[in-house]
Structure 1
Amino acid sequence: MNLIGTEVQPFSAKAFKNGEFIDVTNESLKGQWSVICFYPADFTFVCPTELEDLQNNYETLKELGVEVYSVSTDTHFTHKGWHDSSETINKIQYAMVGDPSQTLSRNFEVLNEEEGLAERGTFVIDPDGVIQTVEVNAGGIGRDADTLVQKIRAAQYVRNNPGEVCPAKWEEGSETLKPSLDLVGKI
Structure 2
Amino acid sequence: MGIIGSTIKPFKATAFQAGKDFFDVTDEDVKGNWAVFFFYPADFTFVCPTELEDLAEQYDALKGMGVEVYSVSTDTHFSHKAWHDTSEKISKISFPMLGDQLHTISNNFGVLREEMGLADRATFLVDPDGVIQVMEITCEGVGRNAKELVRKIKAAQYVRENPGQVCPAKWEEGSDTLAPSLDLVGKI
Task: Give per-residue Cα distances to partners, 1:24-57, cap 9 Å, x unaligned.
Answer: 1101111111000000000000000000000000
CA shift, 1:91, in A, is: 1.2
CA shift, 1:101, in A, is: 0.2
Give 1:13's aligned residue. Answer: 13
Letter matched to residue 27 of structure 2: N
Give 1:80's aligned residue. Answer: 81
Write out aligned runs for 1:26-105 (5 A): 26-105=27-106
Give 1:147's aligned residue. Answer: 148
- The residue matched to 1:157 in structure 2 has which SS? helix
Letter matched to residue 180 of structure 1: S
Cα distance in 1, alignment partners of residues 109 and 120 from structure 2: 10
Cα distance in 2, alignment partners of residues 141 and 28 from structure 1: 30
Cα distance in 2, alignment partners of residues 69 and 4 from structure 1: 18
- The residue matched to 1:77 in structure 2 has which SS? helix
Cα distance in 1, alignment partners of residues 18 and 40 from structure 2: 20
Letter matched to residue 158 of structure 1: V
- The residue matched to 1:74 in structure 2 has which SS? coil
Cα distance in 2, alignment partners of residues 172 and 135 from structure 1: 21
Cα distance in 1, alignment partners of residues 86 and 78 from structure 2: 12
Matched, 1:134 2:171: no
Aligned residues: 187
Letter matched to residue 70 of structure 2: Y
Cα distance in 1, alignment partners of residues 106 and 113 from structure 2: 9
Task: Give per-residue Cα distances to partners, 1:98-135, cap 9 Å, x unaligned.
Answer: 00000100000000011110000100000111000010
Give 1:108's aligned residue. Answer: 109
Cα distance in 1, alignment partners of residues 2 and 77 from structure 2: 29
Give 2:169's aligned residue. Answer: 168
Name stretches of at least 5 consecutive residues in structure 1 with no aligned partner: none
Give 1:159's aligned residue. Answer: 160
Cα distance in 1, alignment partners of residues 61 and 135 from structure 2: 20
- The residue matched to 1:57 in structure 2 has which SS? helix
Letter matched to residue 10 of structure 1: P
Letter matched to residue 2 of structure 1: G
- The residue matched to 2:22 in structure 1 has which SS? strand
Share of identical aligned residues, percent?
Answer: 66
- The residue matched to 1:135 in structure 2 has which SS? strand
CA shift, 1:71, in A, is: 0.2
Letter matched to residue 51 of structure 1: L
Cα distance in 1, alignment partners of residues 113 and 99 from structure 2: 16
CA shift, 1:88, in A, is: 1.0
